[in-house]
Amino acid sequence: MFGSTPYQVHQTRSLVDLAYRLADAAAIVAAAIVAVGYTPGAQLPQLIVVAAATLIVHQASIEVSGLYRNWRGSNITLELWCVLVNWIYTACAVLGVGLITRYNAQFDYVSKMVWLGLTPAATASGRIVLRMVLRSLRKRGFNTRQFAICGVNKLALQLARNIQHAPELGLQFVGFFDDRPERRTKELAGENRPHAGNLQQLVQLAKSGQVDMVFITFPMRAEDRIRRFLRELSDTTASVYIVPDFFVFQMLHARWNQIDGLPVVSVFETPISGIDGVLKRGFDLLVGGALLAALAVPMAIIALAVKLTSPGPVFFRQKRYGLSGEEIRVWKFRSMRVMEDGGQVKQASRDDDRITPVGRILRKTSLDELPQLFNVLGGSMSLVGPRPHATAHNEQYRAMIDGYMLRHKVKPGITGLAQVNGWRGETETLEKMERRIEYDHRYIREWSLWMDVKILVKTALVVLRQENAY
């Protein structure tokens, strides 16, 4: 069970997400049918237009509202508020288009009021029902996540009991992990809560994706021990939480959560969520869409130049790691004669003979990165964030740099804080990569929307200077 385990990243698509989308679509169509019925003489084509327009705008607005995020363990009130915010975006857009096209005039005033009130009510009701269904399914072992507890003590036992008493969370217990021999922990843990292994074995399980969440219950006086273990867990994409003795230990500037009344504080968790996530996603869609529209003609010219000057495709898609270590495909204009995307990827260097004449210009001006705007609009990347590295480089450096994988707690970006501070281009020494990772961590700690704006402006200046680009 605990042999040599290869690194793995999760590549799953939740059926829960699909269920939510289908439930919302059903609510929207049902509300449209009822609302249009209040308009005398309304025909089927009018119903189709209202339902289809609402569905289309709804799908666009969720990119801003974040309605389909993971709501596991969160308060239902927060989810319903998000439903309302998403509906405000949707209703304003649909009514605005209807006003401009004068299509609204075909419907009775009562129909419009019923549509405005019934649609969010139906959507919210569907989500409440889905919550009840999910709670029931999770109690029966479906839609679960695996968690482990690091340390065997009274606090660990209390945490395990609390989670056991809240089956609706859908958390399955892997076991206790402790470096002390089992004979010293068996009496405390009991037969029903096995000592599953030592800490190194837990790290291997987290790396292989067999453990999704780790709760650390070491006493706070074991600071050095906790630091060593956190350093090892930072090479995984597992969510890690410290469960402190609340009466003797307080943490500042941290995000607190509860497991059935027991406080936990996140250590390795994405910092951009909630309203911050909505703002950042909205900024990406607004600015990214505007940039793509403005650069459409230049991109078409670049594509033609690439195609006419060297054999091969116009675009190069390379496997890289995205948010939470999930594999994504990053778009670029092809700038080389080779298309390396395997276990060995050689970084581009000065006077690299693999680079085409047109590719050299594109790389010097960073124009080869423009197709990543499609990644931004698709949601796999952001305009600003840690630059995504080839998967081969990820596997190389995660073993050499402590906390390297923490950069995947946010979406990768077309540009980043490291790139505008001189750490752009080839990283032929370990020190250069370490400096880049330091800036990536700083970006995650200090992120704000204003920081993104400043980085974008500085990026334009860096590109004009053409430093460290080849």
Q: What is the band of 114 on the pLDDT scale with cuts at 50, 70, 90?
A: very high
Cα three-residue angle 67-73-78, rounded to 5 degrees: 45
Flag whether pLDDT at 412 surpasses 50.
yes
Over residues 245-293, the pLDDT tens digits come to 654 444 334 566 777 777 777 777 777 777 778 889 989 999 999 999 9
- Confidence (pLDDT) at 381: 94
pTM of the prediction?
0.55
pLDDT the model gives residue 117? 93
CA angle 54, 55, 61 (to 5 degrees): 85
The pair of structure tokens assigned to 332 is 């670029």
The tally of domains found in the chain comes to 3
The answer to whether residue 1 sits within a structural domain is no
Look at strands 145-150 and 171-177 and give their pairing. parallel
**Token pair recorded at residue 464:** 């004009």
Q: Which residue is listed with tokens 């799953």?
A: 12
Q: For residues 122 and 171, state if they share a domain.
A: no
- Residue 350 and residue 313 share a domain: yes
The CA distances from residue 213 to 14, 52, 146, 223, in Å, are 17, 40, 6, 20
Q: Are 118 and 87 in contact (CB under 8 A)?
A: no
Confidence of residue 344 (pLDDT cuts 50, 70, 90): low
**Alpha carbons 152 and 307: distance in angstroms, whole number:** 62
pLDDT of residue 7: 44
CA gap 59, 67 in Å, rounded:
10
Is residue 371 within 8 Å of 390, Cβ to Cβ? no
Does the pLDDT value for residue 13 go beyond 60? no
CA 4 to chain CA centroid, nearest Å: 28
Expressed as residue numbers, the domain containing 302 is: 274-465
Name the percent of the chain lying above pLDDT 90. Answer: 24
CB 147 within 8 A of CB 214: yes
pLDDT band for position 358 (50/70/90)?
confident
In a domain, 470, yes or no: no
- CATH number of the domain enclosing 173: 3.40.50.720
Q: How far is CA 27 from the centre of its chain?
A: 27
Residue 261 lies in a domain: yes
Taking the C-alpha atoms of residue 419 and residue 398, their distance in angstroms, rounded to an integer, is 20
The pair of structure tokens assigned to 445 is 């700690």
Q: Assess whether 184 and 263 both reside in one domain.
A: yes
108 with 172, same domain: the answer is no
Residues 291 and 435 in one domain: yes
The answer to whether residue 40 is domain-embedded is yes
Q: Each residue of 147-176: pLDDT tens digit?
A: 999 988 888 888 888 888 777 778 888 889
79 within some domain = yes
Same domain (yes/no): 241, 286: no
Instruction: Give the single-character DSSP code of 388.
Output: P
- Say if residue 36 is exposed, middle or buried (CB neighbours under 10 Å; 0-12, 13-18, 19+): buried
- Do residues 309 and 451 both lie within one domain? yes
Percent of the chain with pLDDT over 70: 84
Segment 132-155 shows an average pLDDT of: 83
Which pairs count as long-range contacts for 307-312, CB under 8 Å and 24+ apart, including other chains? 309/356, 309/357, 309/358, 310/334, 310/337, 310/356, 310/358, 310/359, 312/337, 312/339
**Among candidate residues 268, 287, 316, the one where a domain is terminated:** 268
Q: Using the 8-state DSSP alphabet, how is residue 171 labeled?
A: E
Q: Identify any residues that bridge with 319 across adjacent strands, giving them in sequence order.
A: 329
> Tens digits of per-residue pLDDT, 65-113?
778 776 766 667 878 888 888 898 899 999 998 889 888 888 888 999 9
Verify that 262 and 289 share a domain, yes or no: no
Name residue 171's beta-bridge partners.
145
How high is the pLDDT of residue 178?
86
Mark which of 235, 268, 301 sits at the end of a domain. 268
Whether residues 292 and 377 share a domain: the answer is: yes
Spatial CB neighbours of 321, under 8 Å, sequence gap ≥ 6: 9, 327, 328, 388, 389, 391, 394, 408, 412
Higher model confidence: residue 225 or residue 2? 225
- 7 in a structural domain: no
| Tokens 């790389």 found at | 363
In a domain, 24, yes or no: yes
| The pLDDT value given to residue 373 | 94
| Whether residues 203 and 281 fall in one domain | no
In a 10 Å sphere around its CB, with 0-12 CB exposed, 13-18 middle and 19+ buried, how is residue 347 labelled?
A: middle
Same-domain check for residues 226 and 288? no
pLDDT of 182-237, one tens digit each? 665 665 655 445 667 888 899 999 888 889 899 999 887 888 888 899 999 988 88
The answer to whether residues 304 and 330 belong to one domain is yes
The number of CA neighbours under 13 Å toward the Cβ of 342 is 4
Top pLDDT among 292 and 17 is at: 292
Residue 99 lies in a domain: yes
Mean of the per-residue pLDDT values of the chain: 82
Among residues 139, 156, 185, the one where a domain terminates is 139
Residue 213 pairs with which residues in a beta bridge? 147, 239
pLDDT of residue 424: 74
Give buried/exposed letters for 434-459 (b at 16+ CB in 10 A, else e).
bbbbbbbbebbeebeeeebeebbeeb
